[in-house]
């Protein structure tokens, strides 16, 4: 039961984080340029070169 509660809390946190990400001003395109990806990782990841952090990946995939 505790395991399921942890998953629910994690999903809730990811959802809240995804809502905050939508505030980034990115032009509407079918693709993301390298510059836009770097901006996303710089703002939400540990650095613009850190493409492995969970926060950066969620930000990128939530766009």
What is the pLDDT at residue 25?
A: 56
User: pTM of this prediction?
Assistant: 0.50
- Which 3-state string (H, E, C) describes 1-63? CHHHHHHHHHHHHHHHHHHHHCCCCCCCCCCCCHHHHHHHHHHHCCCCCCCCCHHHHHHHHHC
**3-59 pLDDT, tens per residue?**
777 787 787 777 777 767 666 555 565 677 888 888 888 888 888 787 788 888 888
């Amino acid at each position: 039961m505790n395991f399921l509660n942890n998953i629910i809390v994690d999903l809730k946190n990811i959802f809240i984080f995804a809502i905050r990400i939508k505030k980034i001003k990115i032009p509407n395109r079918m693709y993301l340029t390298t510059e836009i990806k770097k901006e996303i990782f710089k703002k939400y990841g540990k650095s613009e070169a850190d493409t492995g952090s969970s926060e950066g990946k969620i930000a990128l995939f939530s766009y």
